[in-house]
Amino acid sequence: MIAHICNALSIIKEHRRAFIVLNIAFYGLFAISMTVTLFVPELHETAKLAMFEVLSQPGYMKAGADAYAGGHLLLAIGLTFVTNLGVSVVLTTLPSFVVPFSGILATLHRGALWGVLFAPIGPFRGTLIPHSLTLLLEGQAYVLAAFAAYVQGQLILRPRHYGIGSRWEGYRAGAVTVARIYVLIVLVLIVAAVYEGYDVIYLAPYFR
């Protein structure tokens, strides 16, 4: 496991400029959209209603919400992890295998949406104090997924720059690179899910 983590970190080191830019873009959009929402609170209400509608539909999201509401810690942790990993794979990674870099847009869109959803508005804004660490951890996992999509796209479109003979070989090398980075993504999402479980069930009530 340590070797896999070191491999993933070496990829980040090799492309550290892109990694930094993606972090700035994601958290920057989060901050900007949150600031805008403070001046236009109707955005928060609209986004919150849309989120409640999603949570009311049968599926992992509703099951997760029910687990939190019922105080079922282990189930909440498991469903949170599965949901966030699924979002990373379906919205960021898989689209980038079809159209290089396309999944990065989904990640940046999520950062902007989070700023609207989690703007400190309403009677429960105090819960954002403990929940901020959850957002930081989950956000970092999504940034890592976007970073994997970036490196994959580079290997596909510029194979010779990386000593690869063809774009098909670059495609395969990109898939291997994505898998290596997903070791970090999974680890971060596990930590995030465990913390979010304790946060929502045990910590948040003290901040309401």
pTM: 0.93
The per-residue pLDDT for 208 is 66
Which tops the pLDDT comparison, 111 or 162?
111
d(CA 38, CA 132): 17
> 53-72 burial, b if ≥16 CB within 10 A, otherwise e?
eeeeeeeeeebbbebbeeeb
pLDDT tens digits, one per residue of 120-178: 887 777 878 888 999 999 999 999 999 999 999 999 988 888 888 788 888 898 999 99
**Residues 174, 62: contact at Cβ < 8 Å?**
no
